[in-house]
Amino acid sequence: MGIVAVLAAALLIPKISSEGGSLFLQFLVYGLANGAIYALIALGYTMVYGIIELINFAHGDVFTLGAFVSLPLLSVFGLTEGKTGIAVLGGLVLVTVLVMLITGVINMGIERVAYRPLRNAPRLAPLITAVGMSFVLEGIMYLWRGANNLHYPDLLPNLRISLGSGASISSKDVIVIVVAVVLVIVLTIFITRSKLGKAMRATAQDREAAQLMGIDINRTIAATFFIGAALAGAGGIIFGLYFNTVRFDLGFQSGLFAFTAAVFGGIGNIRGAALGGLMIGLVKAFSDGYFLSIWTDVWIFAILILVLVFRPTGLLGMQVPEK
Amino acid sequence: MSRRNGPPGEGAWRWAHGHLRDRNRLIYVALLVGVVLFPPVMGLATGVESATWVGTAADAGVFVLLAIGLNVVVGFAGLLDLGYAAFFAIGAYTYGMLASGLLSASPLHHEIHLPFWLLIFVGMFMAACFGILLGAPTLRLRGDYLAIVTLGFGEIVPTVFRNLGPGSPIGNWTGGINGISAIDPPHLPALLTGPFGFAKGLDFTDPSIYPIDYYVLMVVIVVGCVILVSNLYSSRLGRAWMAVREDEVAAAANGVNTVAIKLLAFAIGASFSGFAGAFYGAKLSLVSSENFSFVISVTVLLMVVLGGMGNIPGVIVGSLTIYSVLYVVLPNLPGYAQSAASAVGLGFLNQPGLSGNWSGLGDEVQRLNFLLYGLILVVVMVLRPQGLIPSRVREQELAKGTEEEAVFDLRET
């Protein structure tokens, strides 16, 4: 672990000192905002993996679906570009809640159709259906809006606050980071305090024992999929509002990065996923900024492999017994 | 059990009854017959187009090879590899770099043209080396973490090949986004085609290569690989793999060197992939990083799982099925739909601009491709999670697993 940190420092420090601190701050802000979005997606991966040990490849596409579903909703609520004010923010909150409900229900449907019948099948079978569902979702979005980049309305207020010496933080960055942090905190409280959260943790630990204690396994797993997808749907809207462009196959790359984030933090671990998301966002920002963006994938996956080699269960790894 | 006496004169039936009771053997015989009959039947059925079909069948052979190799990793040793296409890419790029004019533009300033027969083994060796390089530090990871490491590797390798093109810091080694084109075709002996020589006429001196040559070569390679892998399966090593797959701790306790065994499975799987990659590069004469994406890894995994993990004939049937759906049925679907619409008098559907943004039936159906592929994956897996032709042992285990397990069954006493 230390080796990775030292390597990263050795690569970054000369760049930072030669190109000035303001650029570093700028990349840091960008990385945090980007990482917050990855964190939101990573949470869904990590929750689903924690509870049924499935890499839900369709999750990244649920995230894209969130952005796609919100587009017509935004126009229904009259939220078009150029409008500002409290009404817009209120409308956005309303749309976000609606989209979270829709993606949550869709993901529950996916679980019902593609994963539940295979719960006692060989472990690779649900993995294949997950990839299949990912293709189905991408196919639907492709049929719906085509292969072009879609413009997403720029609705967030874009006030720039100077951080001195040329760097600045936008109100957009702040909103994205704050929303993500709030959602993660709410989720953590929910998982640790609520009855359903307790049921989820019990099911993740030992499904049969949980069942014997009177927990409705199917309902608990469906709820996990609902919450994961709701967060991903919110992530989709935030992504659209932040980057102002979406595409049907966006979920593939983002999903891969988010999953990497989940593994990075220790899969099955909520705080690990959030931390991993931020780390991936930062790595991406610094790699894009200081080096060539075509090498970003290589950096991210190489760091992932190195982290796993030295810490086989991720940064905040969950101790999962060998079953 | 009383022996059934067939009516006199039905020796063939009795022979078949004796030898083909085993389902796997029956499939092998059916596959062999199909392979021999395929070129002449296609020749009769489609005439001039048969060369294209035979070439497609040779391409399908590449995927059969990939699936057999991945089956060693996933089916035998139980290691989930989601980056299998990386080794495929390494084999193909090894062939492309060492058998084309590409390296004249690299810092070497010298073209290399090594022969096909050497390079397929070099490609195989390179892929195996990378398999060991990746596997050695990571194979002690728990199942799904290993899957992620291989997935990461599968993303890294094509990206590296794409980025080390013109303008990269260390020069142009891979042709970048355009990949490597004009790769040397292999020199195949004319006698290879044997009884299928009709495609070339009887002129065995013709140096040019026909799809039938690749086809025959591919069949020979696949048959060799099947024999090799079947023997591996029933060897000491094969049993060790299965022991590790079922229970790693118990296997280690019984004296199986689990790390070495897993590494060997990884390297053997990778070498199949590299071999297939080199063949693929030679046949296509074009290698591009686009051809080795995650979708390829998933497709090969699907071939293994759908066919019946661990069972070689199942895997072959699975890969042929998926290949024909993906590369024959789906691409031709728009054409089928158009002719079907014309045939039943709905030809107007084929015109664009019918309503709104309708772009003609052909285009609309084509847009469905991805969706259909996804649906096929889901439906097939939900209906047959154990695969089309699972191995007998697996089948029994799964059937038993779903029943109530009583200590002893009262009905039998």
> Inter-chain contact A312–B401, Cβ cutoff 8 Å?
no
Q: Name the residue among A207, A45, A127, A111 with its Cα closest to residue B385.
A: A127
Chain B interface includes A253 (CB < 8 A): no
Task: Over range A309-323, report the average pLDDT.
Answer: 66
CA separation for the pair B212, B48 (Å, rounded)? 13
CB contact under 8 A, B152 and A305: yes
Predicted pLDDT of residue B277: 94
Sign for the pseudo-dihedral over CA of A248, B160, B302, B247: negative
Q: How many CB pairs below 8 A link A and B?
A: 137
Q: Which of A80-84, B4-8, B219-223, B367-371 has the highest mean pLDDT?
A: B219-223
> Band of the pLDDT at B13, cuts 50, 70, 90?
low
Angle at B267 between CA A317 and CA A130, to 5 degrees: 50
B308: left (phi > 0), else alpha (psi -120 to 50), else beta? left
Among A213-222, B171-180, B226-235, the range scoring the smallest mean pLDDT is B171-180
Summarize pLDDT for A223-253 with one digit per residue, the tens: 999 999 999 999 999 999 888 889 888 888 8
Q: Of residues A321 and B24, which shows the higher confidence score?
A: B24
Average pLDDT over residues A150-166: 79
What secondary structure letter does DSSP report for A111?
I
Q: Does A124 touch chain B (CB under 8 A)?
A: yes
What region does B259 belong to: left with phi over 0, alpha with psi -120 to 50, or beta? alpha
Tell me what the mean pLDDT of segment B9-24 comes to: 66
Q: How high does pLDDT run on average in chain B?
A: 81
Test B371 with A256 for CB contact under 8 angstroms.
no
Higher pLDDT, B211 or B61: B61
The pLDDT of residue B271 = 94
- Cβ pair A320:B142 closer than 8 A: yes
Reported as a pLDDT band with limits 50, 70 and 90, residue B190 is low
Smallest Cβ–Cβ distance between A128 and the set B153, B302, B372 belongs to B302
CB contact at 8 A, B166 and B160: no
How many other β-carbons are positioned within 10 Å of the β-carbon of residue B15? 11
B140, B302, B371 ranked by CB distance to A143: nearest: B371
d(CA A42, CA A257): 8
Question: Where is pLDDT greater, at B360 or A270?
Answer: A270
Overall residue count recorded for chain B in this entry: 413
Nearest to B153 among A49, A135, A305 (CB): A305
pLDDT at B397: 62
The answer to whether the CB atoms of A114 and B378 lie below 8 A apart is yes
CA–CA dist B297, B86 (Å, integer): 8
Q: And the tokens for A258?
A: 């988010």
Q: Is the pLDDT confidence value at A56 over 80?
A: yes
Asked if residue B55 has pLDDT above 80, the reply is yes
Q: B64 pLDDT band (50/70/90 cuts)?
A: very high
pLDDT for B138 beyond 80: yes
Distance separating alpha carbons of residues B401 and A45, to the nearest angstrom: 29
Q: Is the pLDDT of residue B131 over 90?
A: yes
Touching A: B residues 379-408, CB under 8 Å:
381-382, 385-386, 394, 398, 401-402
Residue A100 scores a pLDDT above 60: yes
Instruction: Indicate the pLDDT class of residue B264, thresholds 50, 70 and 90.
Output: very high
Task: List strand residue ranges (DSSP E) for chain A, in order.
Answer: 150-151, 160-162, 168-170, 245-246
B291-307 confidence digits (pLDDT tens): 898 889 989 998 998 88
Burial of B44 (0-12, 13-18, 19+ CB in 10 A): exposed
Q: Looking at per-residue confidence, does B36 or B240 come out higher?
A: B240
The answer to whether the CB of A228 falls within 8 A of the CB of A42 is no
Of A124, A136, A294, Cβ closest to residue B305: A124
Q: Are B245 and B77 contacting, i.e. CB atoms less than 8 angstroms apart?
A: yes
Chain B interface includes A144 (CB < 8 A) = no
- Closest-CA residue to B238 (of B301, B311, B308): B311
Cβ distance of A132 and B386 shorter than 8 Å: no
B67 contact A CB<8A: no
Tell me whether B301 touches chain A (CB under 8 Å).
yes
Which residues 306-365 on chain B approach chain A with CB closer than 8 angstroms? Answer: 306, 309
- Neighbouring C-beta atoms of residue B40, cutoff 10 Å: 13
Position B232 scores a pLDDT of 92
Q: Which residues are CB-contacts of B83 (< 8 A; sequence separation ≥ 6)?
A: B150, B151, B152, B153, B154, B155, B157, B294, B297
| Cβ–Cβ below 8 Å for B301 and A143 | no
Reported as half-sphere exposure (CB side, CA atoms, 13 A), residue B239 has a value of: 6
In angstroms, the first-to-last Cα distance of chain B is 22
Cβ–Cβ gap A298/B149 under 8 Å: no
Percent of chain B with pLDDT over 70: 80
Query: What per-residue confidence (pLDDT) applies to A52?
Result: 85
| Distance (Å) from the alpha carbon of B218 to chain A's nearest alpha carbon | 28
The nearest CA of chain A is from the CA of B375 a distance in Å of 6
Give Cα separations from B26 to A91, B53, B61, B177, B305 (angstroms). 65, 25, 20, 46, 21
pLDDT at B318: 92
Rounded to an integer, the average pLDDT of A11-27 is: 75
- Identify the pLDDT of residue B18: 62
* Mean pLDDT, rounded, for B233-262: 90
Selecting from A136, A304, A320 the residue whose C-beta is nearest the C-beta of B374 gives A136
Give the model's pLDDT for residue B206.
Answer: 47
The mean per-residue pLDDT over the stretch B260-285 comes to: 92
Q: Which residues of B touch A139 (CB under 8 A)?
A: 368-374
Give the model's pLDDT for residue B359: 65
Distance from CA of B326 to the nearest CA of A (A): 13
Is the pLDDT at A172 greater than 50? The verdict is yes
Which pLDDT score is estimated for A12?
Answer: 72
Give A94→chain B minimum CA distance, Å: 31
Q: In A, which residues are within 8 Å of B160 by CB distance?
A: 298
Average pLDDT, chain A: 85
Confidence of residue B195 (pLDDT cuts 50, 70, 90): low
Residue A176 corresponds to which amino acid?
V
Q: Is B192 in CB contact (< 8 Å) with chain A?
A: no
User: Tens of pLDDT along B78-116?
Assistant: 888 989 999 999 999 999 999 888 888 778 788 888 888
* Contact between B370 and A138 using a beta-carbon 8 Å cutoff: yes
Residue in chain B lying closest to A305 (CA)? B149
Nearest CB to A132: which of B155, B163, B377? B377
Rounded mean pLDDT of A84-92?
80
DSSP structure class, residue A118: G
Give the separation between CA B320 and CA B314, rounded to whole angstroms.
Answer: 10
Instruction: Looking at the complex, report in whole angstroms how far the Cα of residue A106 sits from the nearest Cα belonging to chain B.
Output: 16
Cβ distance of B398 and A122 shorter than 8 Å:
yes
Mind telling me how many Å the CA of A304 is from chain B's nearest CA? 7
- Mean pLDDT for B48-71 is 88
pLDDT the model gives residue A315: 78
Q: Which residue has the higher pLDDT, B122 or B216?
A: B122
Q: How far apart are CA B312 and CA B389, in angstroms?
A: 9
For the stretch A119-130, pLDDT in tens is 888 888 898 899
Nearest by CB to residue A263, choosing from B138, B145, B305, is: B145
- Kindly state the average pLDDT of the residues B218-229: 92
Residue A257 Cα distances to A153, B124, B260, B378, angstroms = 25, 30, 31, 24
Q: Are residues A307 and A3 in contact, defined by beta-carbon separation less than 8 angstroms?
A: no
pLDDT of residue B352: 65
| pLDDT band at residue B6 under the 50/70/90 scheme | very low
Q: Give the separation between CA B232 and CA B242, rounded to whole angstroms.
A: 11
